Amino acid sequence: MLGLVGLWLAFAVAINWGSSSADLFLLLVGNASRVSHGEIWRLFTAPLMHHPEGSAGVSHILSTVIGLFFLAPALESAWGTKRLLRFLAISSVFAYTVQWALTLVLPAGAVARLVPPHWYGAMPALEAVAIAFALSLRSNNVLLFLVLPIGSRGMLIATVGISIALVAADAIGPSGAIAPFAGMLAGWLFGGSTPSPARRWWLRLKLQRLETEAAAGRKRRSGAARQRFEVLPGGRDDHKKDRNLH
């Protein structure tokens, strides 16, 4: 959280008070066309950037930090710091990668309505944290809007419902309309339980591969054993012939 605030503050001061160009900021945010032309780093830096100008910029960074402040510590206590940081990084990149991929296949009119030319912010990661919190810490409550205590089911409904309401009202934030829903998917996929659904699938595939290799190894060993102990006929008839000659 301190890192996000510090980075936002640096850009806000440089652009608003230092007469700096916004070129560096725009170089680090997401842009579907530029990512398609090889600027893959944008998928990794876009989650770190937040709107640096005006009251909209303050609201953008504050909503992200407040959400993380109320939800992330409980997950850190349950998972540990390493897993939480890994989850935040993977969920952020996953959400923006899904959004970029969909801009390649959706009609241009839909892309123009759902995805801004430049997309950025940690809101998809916050959506992922909210879903993971609701699914992994079912006995915990949280204060919605800092006032209303809700449980895990309420958290799920609120997270999905607010995002749907924003799309219905055409109130697309800096992260775009697709990335938050991809963040929710990441929250379930990488943090929905312990182990996560993604890890369970990976372990199942790994087990199937090991079982296939073990079966192939047993088959090879069995075939080699049959070849090693096979008895070739022919010697008995020769012995009869020699006895008849005598």
Tens digits of residue pLDDT in 64-118: 998 888 888 889 998 999 999 999 999 999 999 999 999 999 999 999 999 999 9
Which of these, 61, 80, 168, 37, lies nearest to 123 by C-alpha position? Answer: 61
Range 2-193 has CATH code 1.20.1050.140: no
The residues near 227 (Cβ < 8 Å, ≥ 6 apart) are: none
Tens digits of residue pLDDT in 151-203: 778 888 888 998 999 889 988 899 999 999 999 999 999 988 888 888 888 88
Cα 4 to Cα 88: distance, rounded to the nearest angstrom: 13
Q: What is the pTM of this model?
A: 0.82
Q: What are phi and psi of 44, to 5 degrees?
A: -95, -30
- Two tokens at 115? 């995805």
Residue 230 pLDDT class (50, 70, 90 cuts): low
Tens digits of residue pLDDT in 195-219: 888 888 888 998 998 988 888 888 8
Mean pLDDT across the stretch 39-65?
Answer: 93
The domain ranges of the chain are 2-193, 195-224
Residue 26 pLDDT > 90? yes
Residue 241 pLDDT > 60? no
